[in-house]
Amino acid sequence: MTPRLRCVIWPLKPRLAPLNDLEDMMTDLAPLRRALISVSDKTGLTQLGHALAARGVEILSTGGTAKALRDAGLEVRDVSDFTGFPEMMDGRVKTLHPVVHGGLLARRDLESHRDAMVEHNIGPIDLLVVNLYPFEDTVAKGADFDTCIENIDIGGPAMIRSAAKNHAFVSVVTDVADYDVLLADMDANAGQTTLALRQRLAQTAYARTAAYDTAVSTWMAGAIGDDTPRRRSFSGTFKQTMRYGENSHQAAAFYTDGTHRPGVATAVQHQGKELSYNNINDTDAAFELVAEFDPAGGPAVAIIKHANPCGVARGATLLEAYQNAFDCDRTSAFGGIVALNQPLDEATAKAIVEIFTEVVIAPGASDAAKAVFASKKNLRLLTTDALPDVKAPITTYRQVAGGMLVQDKDTGHIGMDDLKVVTKVAPTDAQMADLLFAWKVAKHVKSNAIVYVKDGATVGVGAGQMSRLDSALIAAKKAERMADAMGLPAPLTIGSAVASDAFFPFADGLMEAAAAGATCVIQPGGSMRDDEVIAAADAAGIAMVFTGMRHFRH
């Protein structure tokens, strides 16, 4: 094909490069001759600027970005010079201009677009490098309403969307991690970028603006007190691929939500193979559970299997807490997840490695503990800077066919003063301590949940049954089995406290707990047959308290 137009000379703009040769436009390669760079996160900025300049790319920029590039010895053209229009309104209006968006949006393969560029003196922009005002960080720092509003980027998202739409000709970079990827693609293609790269960058760009708008809309709903906004959006940032999901035939990946809550998403992995889908899910459950126990009250350890606790305990030391938790259900602990509420020490590490353990997570670990784990190459050790705040308000999401269930995270807590004694016999102080311990654990057990506790340690856990009676039976049977394995004269459920995550609909579940040896009960109350259940407890000489709060976990 013989092109009608070989090149364009831009009037009054002698430094603007000509349009791409039409023959070049017919390939998937796009020459990169002019870049507009405007970034809040200046990580890697000067290195990118030097790399582009060395490859003959003209740089346009604004404000602080332009200053940083000039301070690094680079030649930079102000966007206001490029547009012929000054920045105004405290910088709110600077890139919102037809010359900028025309340079990004113009299709180089359409004669009408080329003619319009000549007529209106619009030069092409081949690369846009923009990351947005730090709105999310501003909100995270607790800034006031007006400050948050001022940190909503307008020009950035507009340019990003323009460049991404025209990715047939324009490259758009919104992530520092893509700087080297861009340069490598240019070097492999004589200063041009491939369509495959531009498509991937465009997808990333649209995801970034979507996540940004999600952050703004979510914040604004909270700021104006709208708990159920008519439209709600969700976003995440890719962290890693998984070998598979819950099962080997399911594809999976892990995304973070940017909240920086201490836990598996923000932890440092010191050793071991990559975490699996199930590892991440179970580790999250373990760490959220152990965080219920304030380190100021002493060491605590939770052992999790399939997102349910198989042992939770406090102790005078971490080692004692681990051993007590392990003794609740040694069988299920094999291949489990261990979470600690204090930094891991050497003695506890030595006890943990005596059986196969998938993951250990703690708010820190000593060098000696890390050395113990070093011999177990498949064991993953994760450390965090802190425990999650179990009382902090969080929104949780669960997908269902055709929609999404949204709710507040269960941050409900019960203290001594919240309990109502409903039986003739009141719990002793020691029993009350075990009841509150059992209640904290029951909150993290799949419903229907029954949890037996004695002396600050679980001694039987019944989880996820269709009947509360069955959960009580299973937990008691597990305790009997552990007593036999440990050579004890009787199950540890004798003399224990028992927690039920929801009310007993009939007295049978309560009587099963009594038969297992429980001497006190904590439950929400609220059943139509509460009187019948209370009477059964009185007849058995059992103390019972109501919380007025349930902890269903489905």
Q: Inform me whether the pLDDT recorded for 15 exceeds 80.
A: no
Q: Domain containing 379: what range?
A: 261-383
**At 404, is the secondary structure helix, strand, or coil?**
strand
Residue 165 known to be catalytic:
yes
Sort strands 336-340 and 300-305 into parallel, antiparallel or unpaired. antiparallel
Residue 306 known to be catalytic:
yes
Tens-digit pLDDT profile for residues 82-134: 776 667 666 666 666 788 888 898 888 888 888 888 888 888 899 999 988 88
Radius of gyration of the chain (CA): 31
**C-alpha to C-alpha distance for 271 and 380, rounded to whole angstroms:** 5
Residues 377 and 498 in one domain: no
Q: Inform me whether the pLDDT recorded for 19 exceeds 70.
A: no
Residues 379 and 435 in one domain: no
Q: According to the model, what pLDDT value does residue 88 have? A: 60
Phi, psi of 431 (to 5 degrees): -65, -40
* Burial class of 130 by CB neighbour count within 10 A (0 to 12, 13 to 18, 19+): buried
Cβ-based neighbours of 220, under 8 Å, separated by 6 or more = none
Give the distance from CA 448 to its chain's centroid: 27
Residues 287 and 193 in one domain: no
Whether the Cβ atoms of residue 387 and residue 291 lie closer than 8 Å to each other:
yes
Q: Domain boundary residue among 340, 358, 383?
A: 383
Residue appearing with tokens 């846009």: 128
For residue 153, give the CATH number of its domain.
Answer: 3.40.50.1380
Q: What value does the mean pLDDT take over residues 403-419?
A: 91
Residues 524 and 461 in one domain: yes
Residues 72 and 205 in one domain: yes
Residues 206 and 314 in one domain: no
Residue appearing with tokens 């440092």: 268
Catalytic residue among 42, 50, 113, 165: 165
Average pLDDT, the chain: 89
> Quick check: is 346 in a domain?
yes
Tens-digit pLDDT profile for residues 459-502: 999 999 999 999 999 999 999 999 999 999 999 999 999 999 99
DSSP per-residue letters across 273-323: SPPPHHHHHHHHHHHHHHTTS-GGG--EEEEEETTEEEEEEE-SSHHHHHH
Q: Inform me whether the pLDDT recorded for 10 exceeds 80.
A: no
* Burial class of 173 by CB neighbour count within 10 A (0 to 12, 13 to 18, 19+): buried
* Burial class of 70 by CB neighbour count within 10 A (0 to 12, 13 to 18, 19+): middle
Phi, psi of 332 (to 5 degrees): -70, -25
* Domain count of the fold of the chain: 3
For residue 533, give the CATH number of its domain.
Answer: 3.40.140.20
Q: Inform me whether the pLDDT recorded for 381 exceeds 70.
A: yes
Whether the Cβ atoms of residue 548 and residue 519 lie closer than 8 Å to each other:
no
Instruction: Please state, as a whole number, how many other Cβ atoms lie within 10 Å of the Cβ of residue 233.
Output: 13
DSSP β-bridge partners for residue 553: none
> Quick check: is 151 in a domain?
yes
Residues 205 and 273 in one domain: no
**At 205, is the secondary structure helix, strand, or coil?**
helix
Residues 434 and 333 in one domain: no
Listed residue (305, 302, 304) closest to 315, CA to CA: 302
Q: According to the model, what pLDDT value does residue 3 have? A: 36
Whether the Cβ atoms of residue 351 and residue 319 lie closer than 8 Å to each other:
yes
pTM: 0.79
Q: What value does the mean pLDDT take over residues 216-232?
A: 87
Catalytic residue among 42, 50, 113, 306: 306
Q: Position 321: which residue type?
A: A
> Quick check: is 409 in a domain?
no
Ramachandran assignment for 185, one of left (phi > 0), alpha (psi -120 to 50 degrees), beta (any other): alpha
Q: According to the model, what pLDDT value does residue 13 have? A: 38
Helices 111-119 & 98-105 angle (0-180, nearest 10): 160
